[in-house]
Chain A
Amino acid sequence: MKVFKKALANIAKKPITIHYPIVPSPAPEGFRGRHKIYFNKCIGCGLCGKNCPTNAIKLRTEIKKEKAKTIVYKVVRHYIKSIDLGKCVFCGLCEDICPVHAIKLTRKFDMADYDKNKTLIER
């Protein structure tokens, strides 16, 4: 009897199918998708590259002169260069560790491409 009731109720319901390519279906809140990098925010600590489990993040090393009161000294900085989406596993560690929030994972998921080099986020 229980089954019969359920079956009758299901006749009145709409199908659950999502008509994806015709109707857009956005990813839920908190989804980890394509990165957005704010290159001008980067301070060159290099933590994202060191933390990346698949070495998807490439860093650009630069020697900079910095000043503290009257002393001028040299510092090695590792600025973010690119992220290879083909290697990335979207774990979100780079977003968590970045002290200045220069990397953000957006909700964009349709990243399919014909060319492997186009799955690279660069400046």
Chain B
Amino acid sequence: MSRTINWARKKSPWIYHLCTGDCNGCDVELIAAITPKFDVERLGIQLVGSPRHADVLCITGAVTKKAKERFLRIYNQTPEPKLVVAIGACAISGGIFAGSEQVDPGVDKHIKVDVYVPGCPPRPQAIIDGIYKALGKLK
């Protein structure tokens, strides 16, 4: 039974996009991956409006002090098993914002991250590649 559910999850991962305070470059690239040019819905990937419906959390941005609390709340709202994809240099290490007193950089400092997608911003193809690599973790 669980194998069937995992097979279904692999065929249609629903992603939730969470911005924790960045320059919106990575957000634009993630939205570009959903447009007809790349059309990820042919692969079953769909953007959903609520973290409660999501399988994959796509996190962009250095974690600001204001966003940290909400970010952890949204992470806890996502049902298990969840996959976390950190997109962009800010989400991985703080990038250009590292060292500022307003941010607590590094998503992996707060939660467990499955796949890191470097780039500032990464190409839409790189984001699709990252989500696909995350799905490889499901057995």
Contacts and interface: CB of A to CB of B under 8 A. Distances in A.
Interface of A: 15-21, 25, 27, 53-54, 84-91, 109-116, 119
Interface string B100-139: 0000000010000111111110110110111011000100
A18 B125 CA distance: 10
Given A27-B123, A54-B89, A88-B89, A112 B38 contact: no
Contacts of A116: 92, 108, 113, 116
23 contacts: A15-B36, A16-B37, A17-B36, A17-B39, A18-B38, A53-B96, A54-B98, A86-B93, A87-B89, A87-B95, A89-B89, A89-B95, A90-B119, A109-B123, A111-B119, A111-B122, A112-B118, A112-B126, A112-B133, A113-B116, A113-B133, A116-B92, A119-B116
Instruction: Specify the main secondary structure of chain A where it touches its partner.
Output: loop
B42 interface: yes
Contacts of B37: 16-18
Contacts, number: 87
A109 B122 CA distance: 8
A116 B120 CA distance: 16
B89 A86 contact: yes
